């Protein structure tokens, strides 16, 4: 059998990324811009990015941190609240810089307190989005404390997402960072206006990784890692080559202090080696031939944006991940696979 030593592909984009703000930007934007041409930037800052003016100012702060010589375009998003006015959606659309609106159920994850308390409250706004072709990005987990944390995605799909899709017939929706067999099946059965992103860490890890030899805060993210059966379903999804699954890292930097804590934050940082990690997962899945469409074609096609034209090459080459990266002057980010070896290098 031939071993692939190198793969060349059209430059990819990251369709789900957290870059934070302020002094964190310098580290994380450099990591992403090294690999990706564009990224959908999550709006869960504190305070959240709820209007066009804030998104445009944030966009400029991101651009100010793109290292010289790299070409990187942030694709901005708005944070949906119970009261986002329809006018704001039209302003966002007219800006040409805002490509989606993000739904966080209130309390579902990091910085989601200002999120939606009841999805039905947003239906009028969602109707405006459907009308003007603005996609909705969904953090698909219910927040009901009576629902087991491992079941929250599945319950969200049944109780909230399906009724919402029926109520707003033309809305384009991306179910973000899917983690379950239920979500994969849902996408396979869903109309063409519905797609999903898949992270590298959900392809590589099952929930045992959170408890390997002790509690592992750097493997804690939301939606939380699931059992092996669900990871296998994600692998089958990428092997299928289905066009409505695409790359979204959900790379989510947190200060080491905030992760290694009595109440540690959710989020896994993968931006430093995102493509290398995905290639590892695709190779394990025997699906390297499906990687280019997943990473570089399916996302822009769904968003109605042009595909990138330049190429990148990823080689089989062992290298060691740094043990940490600076987060401003005060703290550090512990990356996924900190201090370990990876087998592919961009």
Does position 18 interact with ligand NCD (CB under 6 A)? The reply is yes
Q: Which is nearer to ligand NCD, 45 or 187 (CB)?
A: 45
267 binds, among ligand NCD, Zn ion, none (CB under 5 to 8 A by kind): ligand NCD
335 binds, among ligand NCD, Zn ion, none (CB under 5 to 8 A by kind): none
Rounded Cα gap, residues 269 and 25, in angstroms:
13
Helix (H, G, I), strand (E, B) or coil at 96: coil
Does position 139 interact with ligand NCD (CB under 6 A)? The reply is yes
Q: Are strands 6-10 and 311-320 parallel, antiparallel or unpaired?
A: antiparallel
Binding residue count for Zn ion, defined by CB under 5 A: 1
Q: Which is nearer to ligand NCD, 59 or 139 (CB)?
A: 139
Structure tokens at 77: 């998003």
Q: Which is nearer to ligand NCD, 269 or 303 (CB)?
A: 269
Q: Report the nearest approach of ligand NCD to the CB of residue 171 (Å).
A: 20
CA angle 247, 73, 82 (to 5 degrees): 70
Does position 252 interact with ligand NCD (CB under 6 A)? The reply is yes
Whether the Cβ atoms of residue 247 and residue 237 lie closer than 8 Å to each other = no
181 binds, among Zn ion, ligand NCD, none (CB under 5 to 8 A by kind): none
The residues in 226-255 that bind Zn ion, with binding defined as CB under 5 A, are 250
Rounded Cα gap, residues 281 and 285, in angstroms:
6
Does position 14 interact with ligand NCD (CB under 6 A)? The reply is no
Q: Which is nearer to ligand NCD, 20 or 93 (CB)?
A: 20
Helix (H, G, I), strand (E, B) or coil at 156: helix
| Contacting positions for ligand NCD (CB under 6 A) | 18, 44, 109-110, 139, 221-222, 250, 252, 266-267
């Amino acid at each position: 059998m031939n071993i692939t030593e190198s793969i060349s592909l059209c430059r990819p984009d990251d369709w789900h990324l957290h870059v934070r703000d302020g002094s964190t930007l310098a580290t994380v934007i450099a990591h992403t811009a090294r690999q990706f041409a564009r990224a959908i930037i999550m709006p869960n800052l504190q305070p959240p990015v709820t209007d066009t003016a804030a998104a445009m100012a944030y966009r400029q702060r991101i651009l100010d941190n793109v290292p010289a010589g790299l070409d990187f375009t942030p694709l901005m998003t708005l944070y949906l609240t119970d009261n986002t006015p329809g006018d704001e959606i039209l302003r966002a659309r007219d800006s040409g810089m805002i490509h989606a609106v993000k739904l966080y159920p209130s309390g579902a994850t990091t910085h989601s307190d200002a999120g939606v308390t009841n999805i039905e409250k947003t239906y009028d706004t969602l109707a405006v989005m459907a009308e003007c072709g603005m996609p909705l990005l969904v953090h698909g987990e219910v927040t009901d404390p009576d629902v087991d944390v491992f079941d929250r995605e599945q319950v969200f799909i049944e109780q909230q997402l399906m009724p919402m899709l029926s109520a707003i017939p033309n809305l384009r929706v991306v179910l973000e960072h899917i983690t379950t067999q239920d979500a994969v099946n849902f996408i396979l059965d869903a109309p063409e206006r519905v797609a999903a992103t898949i992270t590298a860490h959900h392809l590589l890890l099952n929930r045992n990784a959170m408890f390997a030899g002790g509690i592992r805060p750097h493997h804690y993210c939301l939606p939380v890692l699931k059992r092996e059966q669900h990871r296998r379903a994600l692998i089958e999804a990428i092997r299928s080559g289905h066009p409505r699954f695409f790359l979204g890292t959900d790379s989510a930097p947190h200060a080491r202090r905030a992760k290694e804590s009595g109440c540690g934050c959710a989020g896994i940082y993968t931006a430093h080696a995102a493509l290398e990690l995905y290639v590892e997962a695709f190779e394990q899945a025997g699906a390297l031939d499906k990687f280019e469409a997943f990473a570089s074609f399916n996302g822009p096609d769904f968003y109605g944006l042009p595909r990138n034209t330049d190429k990148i090459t990823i080689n089989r080459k062992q290298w060691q991940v740094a043990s940490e990266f600076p987060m401003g002057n005060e703290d550090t980010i512990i990356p996924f696979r900190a201090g370990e070896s990876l087998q592919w290098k961009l």
